[in-house]
Amino acid sequence: MDLVDPFGRTIRDLRISVTDRCNFRCTYCMPAEGMQWLPRSEVLTFEEIERLARIFVERYEVDGIRITGGEPTVRAHLPVLIEKLSDLRVPAGSRSPLAGSKPDLAITTNGATFRLVAHDLRAAGLDRVNISLDTLQRERFLQMTRRDELVRVLDGIEAAKEAGFAPVKVNAVIERGTNDDEVVDLARYGREHGVEVRFIEFMPLDAEGGWDRSKVFSQAEIVSTIDAVFPLEQVPSRGAAPADRWRYRDGGGLIGVIPTVTAPFCGDCDRVRLTADGQFRTCLFETREFDLRALLRNGASDDELAAEIERAVGTKWAGHQINQVNFIRPKRTMSQIGG
Ligand code: SAM
């Protein structure tokens, strides 16, 4: 059966954070020091994640799962989880194009150690990879991520291609005054390496409270900057996908823009999220969470878990409030929620 929210949106996409830990400290996400990690006992086990994912896929016909974090590749034995998720089946009678098959399985990673796991993740059934890369300049990479890992991330992107992931996408957060002068260079990198770059507007989910509207380099600015060098045409309708897409008029591939701040796509949002500690969220910017871990660990039946999931989805709001005066930042940062 479909899981439908009060605004008629059917939930199709589940984001699962497998850890709040990360080997980077990106300035727009985490503080340099002093992150308080979840104690291991509070993090869901693979069996717990699988049990919840099974309810979403097999009961509610959710046909896409994205694994994220923190940095998901720092979680040991990640291919074992991917294997478990690959065994799930979207019900045969579902309207999903994946009816009768496994859900689409994707990961968002910083890519630094991706070469070490790419092959095993692919063999376990992972379909797609997004690798984060905000700059092509080594010094700036060090400033933005607080790690000198540009070379390994670029190699991680090549490893993803070699392992057969297609498409490989690159996520680039653009912050005015930090890396907005690299939009064309990143676009050129995507064209030359056959990867789709998805430019992301800077969102108010950083740990240090440094976000303000003036630092948002908007979708309109991103597109016009690239278009001036590599002419673009918009690809019609993104449906529930978060990115608006453009293609190069010369056939050089595609770009995406995730315009969360200046052109929110909440009206088509089909996403829900599970944090590493088993809290269920219906929006990245929600302040309210539903504690599925407590239910799991207190012996709840699948019907009881499903009832709580439905109760939560019944509270999914029409859209986030970033552009309104009453916007309240979530207490948890992107890395703690799972981007
Ligand atoms: N560690 C993985 C990675 O780097 O891709 C996965 C988790 S990370 C939180 C997921 C995505 O969120 C990354 O593409 C990251 O750049 C993005 N992100 C983090 N903080 C953000 C912010 N304040 N605004 C926009 N995007 C952000």
CA dist 256 and 235 (Å) reads 10
Distance 206 CA to ligand 1 centre (A): 9
CB 338 within 8 A of CB 68: yes
The answer, yes or no, to whether any atom of ligand 1 lies below 6 A from the CB of 110, is yes
> pLDDT truncated to tens, each residue of the chain (339 aa)?
999 999 999 999 999 999 999 999 999 999 999 889 999 999 999 999 999 999 999 999 999 999 999 999 999 999 999 999 999 999 999 999 999 999 999 999 999 999 999 999 999 999 999 999 999 999 999 999 999 999 999 999 999 999 999 999 999 999 999 999 999 999 999 999 999 999 999 998 888 888 999 999 999 999 999 999 999 999 987 677 778 999 999 999 999 999 999 988 888 899 999 999 999 999 988 889 999 999 999 999 999 999 999 999 999 988 887 777 777 777 787 888 887
CA dist 236 and 255 (Å) reads 13
Give CA torsion, residues 252, 186, 111, 273, to 10 deg: -90
CB 297 within 8 A of CB 283: no
- The string of DSSP codes covering 5-71 is -TTSPBP-EEEEE--S--S---TTTS-SS---PPPGGGSPPHHHHHHHHHIIIIIT---EEEEESS-
Phi and psi based region of residue 324 (left: phi greater than 0; alpha: psi -120 to 50; beta: remaining): beta
Nearest to 309 by CA among 294, 296, 292: 292
Q: What type of residue sits at position 197?
A: V
Residue 282, helix vs strand vs coil: coil
Q: Which of 132, 135, 271, 274 to mutate to test the pocket of ligand 1 (most atoms within 8 A of CB)?
A: 132
Distance 339 CA to ligand 1 centre (A): 5
Asked whether the whole model's pTM tops 0.85, one would answer yes
Quote the Cα angle for 70-76-78, to 5°.
80
The answer, yes or no, to whether any atom of ligand 1 lies below 6 A from the CB of 336, is no
Nearest to 98 by CA among 16, 13, 166: 13
Cis peptide bond upstream of 167, omega within 30: yes
Q: What type of residue sits at position 180?
A: D
CA dist 128 and 318 (Å) reads 29
Q: Which of 134, 334, 336 to mutate to test the pocket of ligand 1 (most atoms within 8 A of CB)?
A: 334
Q: What is the pLDDT of residue 242?
A: 76
Return the structure tokens found at 293. Answer: 């871990």
**Cα first-last separation, the chain:** 27
Q: Which residues contact 125 (CB under 8 A, 6 or more apart)?
A: 82, 83, 85, 86, 102, 105
The answer, yes or no, to whether any atom of ligand 1 lies below 6 A from the CB of 335, is yes
Alpha helices by DSSP H, 93-205? 114-124, 138-145, 150-162, 183-193
Q: What is the pLDDT of residue 238?
A: 63
Q: Phi and psi (nearest 5°) for 124?
A: -80, -10
CA dist 30 and 37 (Å) reads 12
Angle of helix 46-54 relative to helix 302-313, nearest 10 degrees? 70
The answer, yes or no, to whether any atom of ligand 1 lies below 6 A from the CB of 218, is no
Q: What is the pLDDT of residue 236?
A: 87
Nearest to 199 by CA among 233, 222, 230: 222
Distance 301 CA to ligand 1 centre (A): 34
Identify the residue whose C-alpha is closest to ligand 1 atom 13. Answer: 132
CA dist 138 and 20 (Å) reads 26
The answer, yes or no, to whether any atom of ligand 1 lies below 6 A from the CB of 205, is yes
Length of the chain (residues): 339
